Amino acid sequence: MFILGIILFFSFPVWGIWIIISLMVGNSMLTPRRIYLICKTNYHFRKNEAEYRMVLFSRVPYFKRLSEEYQNQFYARVKKFVRTKEFIPVEITEVSQIDKILIAASAIQLTFGLEAFILSRFHTIYVYPNHFYNSKTKNRHKGEVNIHGSISLSLHDFHLGNKIENDGVNLGLHEMAHALRVEQFLEQDSDDFFNSYFAKIGSTLKEERSNAQNDDFIRAYGKTNAHEFFAVCVENFFERPGKFKEEMTELYAHFVVLLNQNPLKLNESFETSREITEEVELENNTYGDVLFSKGFTLNYFVLAGILIIGYQSYPDIVFPSVVLSVYLLIKWINYRRVTFYSEGVLVKRWYAKTPKFYSFSRIVLVLVTEGRIKQFVLKYRIQSQIKSELIHARMTEEEKKQWFELLKSNKISVKYVGRL
């Protein structure tokens, strides 16, 4: 393919550059074959929309329960999923368009409450007729997820999982759950809320997994490790939501927030699941103990520079006085006092009637530019959205250590970036 890119570069410079760049960034969508497949997929979806919608309606119970508005959104996402993946048949002649749609539907069902829904890290789906052999594990598998970007499925077991709607066994949902967890963990096309909330419910998952050893609700395979437990819980969340809620009430409530949907109240939940939890947090919120407080401090080097240059150029002091006044005015407008509490961060602006409190339950990520913090960005959630707040704080080394320990104890990650 690289040689083809070189040939095309000299024959058709623009096209050649396009292909070479696509190969460099690893985006197969920009290759001629991928463009052909995209056009072909779009054509099939336009030509056979009525048939494909009927397939979803008759074979995907989740789709049937959606309102017309959400069915349209679901269909559009299925179309995009199929268009952006390469389905490779193994030991079969081809993967039918219907099978592609049903596989895509499993992924979209899982991610329907999330903004990042396409599982973009996974570009290839291998489809086998039945159980397949894995040379690394020396075992035959029904499905598997490779962190390098592929998902493998046994078509027989995939269809069997869809055929029996309420047994808590669904290969499509199971493997897509693994893919979602990998993608979020590697933070590719990730949902900041998902990552933060998953970290917060880690102890609950561990406790419920331990409790599950003594009952039959979670099948044996789901008890083997934490990854399989999560995937099997996803299967039960969608296929047996009532039973799941009855057996694991707290964990079910966490899954509603994590995936931003509630199978027991499907059409009502996509816009409210995370908001309801947030309202409860705010009602019960307390600032906690005061740790330390910071405010804007004047940069005396800048002040000295303004005065020296001003006096040299304008002895009558008019110019430096104006510049100094403007500088102080900007500082005054931007002034805010930041108080660090054991439960979060309180920001008070001079012009605001009430301060804003960012509790650790709402903070999902902290971005900093350097070890000795002068300013940083809080990524926090509000009404199911992720927003940012720039914080100015000249911390001492001891304060910085205390702050990072607090973030760590609340399972909030810190990222170092080039600039804010």
pLDDT at 79: 92
Dist CA 153 CA 156 (whole Å): 9
- The pTM for the full model equals 0.68
363 φ, ψ (degrees, to nearest 5) = -75, 130
pLDDT at 309: 62
Q: Is the pLDDT of residue 27 over 50?
A: no
CATH number of 290-296+335-416: 2.30.29.30
279 vs 164 pLDDT, higher one: 164
In this prediction, residues 294-318 reach a mean pLDDT of 61
Q: Is the pLDDT of residue 298 over 60?
A: no
In this prediction, residues 227-232 reach a mean pLDDT of 93
In this prediction, residues 384-389 reach a mean pLDDT of 76
Q: Mean pLDDT over all residues of the chain?
A: 80
Written as six digits, the tokens of 279 are 């309202």
pLDDT confidence bin for 26, thresholds 50/70/90 = very low
Q: With pLDDT > 90 as the criterion, what percentage of the chain qualifies? A: 29
Domain boundaries, the chain: 31-281, 290-296+335-416
Q: Per residue in 147-185, pLDDT tens?
A: 888 999 999 999 999 988 888 899 999 999 999 988 877
Q: Does the domain spanning 31-281 belong to CATH 1.10.472.150?
A: yes
Written as six digits, the tokens of 102 are 């049903």
Of 107, 237, 84, 248, nearest to 172 by C-alpha is 107
152 φ, ψ (degrees, to nearest 5) = -120, 140
Dist CA 46 CA 43 (whole Å): 5
In this prediction, residues 316-329 reach a mean pLDDT of 63
Rounded to 10 deg, the angle between the 68-84 and 97-111 helix axes is 120
Q: Is the pLDDT of residue 277 over 80?
A: no
Query: 347 with 400: CB under 8 angstroms?
Result: no
In this prediction, residues 248-253 reach a mean pLDDT of 91
Query: 342 with 289: CB under 8 angstroms?
Result: yes
Cα-Cα-Cα-Cα dihedral of 251, 257, 261, 267, to 10°? 120
In this prediction, residues 242-264 reach a mean pLDDT of 91
pLDDT confidence bin for 25, thresholds 50/70/90 = very low
Neighbours of 336 (CB within 10 A): 20
* C-alpha distances out from residue 359 to 201, 217, 319, 341, 372, Å: 17, 35, 45, 9, 23
Q: With pLDDT > 70 as the criterion, what percentage of the chain qualifies? A: 75
Amino acid identity for residue 154 in this structure: S
pLDDT confidence bin for 60, thresholds 50/70/90 = very high
Q: Is the pLDDT of residue 83 over 80?
A: yes
pLDDT at 325: 67
Dist CA 338 CA 166 (whole Å): 52
Q: Give the position of tokens 């002068």.
A: 374
Q: Is the pLDDT of residue 199 over 60?
A: yes
Of 121, 119, 118, 83, nearest to 101 by C-alpha is 83
Of 55-64, 156-165, 302-311, 367-376, the range with the lowest mean pLDDT is 302-311
Query: 256 with 224: CB under 8 angstroms?
Result: no
pLDDT at 56: 94
Q: Residue 252, CB half-sphere, CA atoms under 13 Å: how many?
A: 18
Write the DSSP assignment of 32-77 as a string of letters.
HHHHHHHHHHHHHHHHTHHHHHHHHHHH-HHHHHS-HHHHHHHHHH
Dist CA 167 CA 163 (whole Å): 10
pLDDT confidence bin for 319, thresholds 50/70/90 = low
Q: Per residue in 119-134, pLDDT tens?
A: 888 989 999 999 998 8
Written as six digits, the tokens of 381 are 């959630």
154 vs 39 pLDDT, higher one: 154
The 3-state secondary structure of 203-263, one letter per residue: HHHHHHHHHHCCCCCCCHHHHCCHHHHHHHHHHHHHHCHHHHHHHCHHHHHHHHHHHCCCH
SS3 144: strand
